[in-house]
Amino acid sequence: MQNQPTDDASDVIQKLTDKVEGLEEALLSRDIIGQAKGILMERLHLTSDQAFEELRAVSQKQNRKVRDIAAEVADTGEWPLVSTNGQRALG
């Protein structure tokens, strides 16, 4: 019983650490998605919601996470995305 408070504290610390890591990842994802939305808004003359919908649609078609699609757009500036087989992914 003497170790119970220490074990509880360790569990709480681990849960908080995991939560902080998740929040940090969410902030990075949000920034990357915002960059990609901005690129699509400028190039395609879309609203913020329309740009996100484009990202979401490609995400579903390619079965990839929105943040991964957004990172590719932010890194390459390419839209529509070119898939690995050389075909264009339609948004």
Predicted TM-score (pTM) of the model is: 0.68
Answer whether residue 13 shows pLDDT above 90: yes
pLDDT at 26: 84
Tens of pLDDT, residue by residue over 27-58, are 888 999 999 999 999 999 999 999 999 999 99
- Classified by CATH at the fold level, domain 12-76 comes out as Arc Repressor Mutant, subunit A (1.10.10)
Backbone angles phi, psi at 78, to 5 degrees: -80, 135
pLDDT at 5: 67
- Taking the domains of the chain in order of start, what are their residue ranges? 12-76
69: pLDDT confidence band, cut at 50, 70 and 90?
A: very high
86: pLDDT confidence band, cut at 50, 70 and 90?
A: very low
> For residue 69, with 0-12 CB atoms within 10 Å meaning exposed, 13-18 middle and 19 or more buried, which class applies?
buried
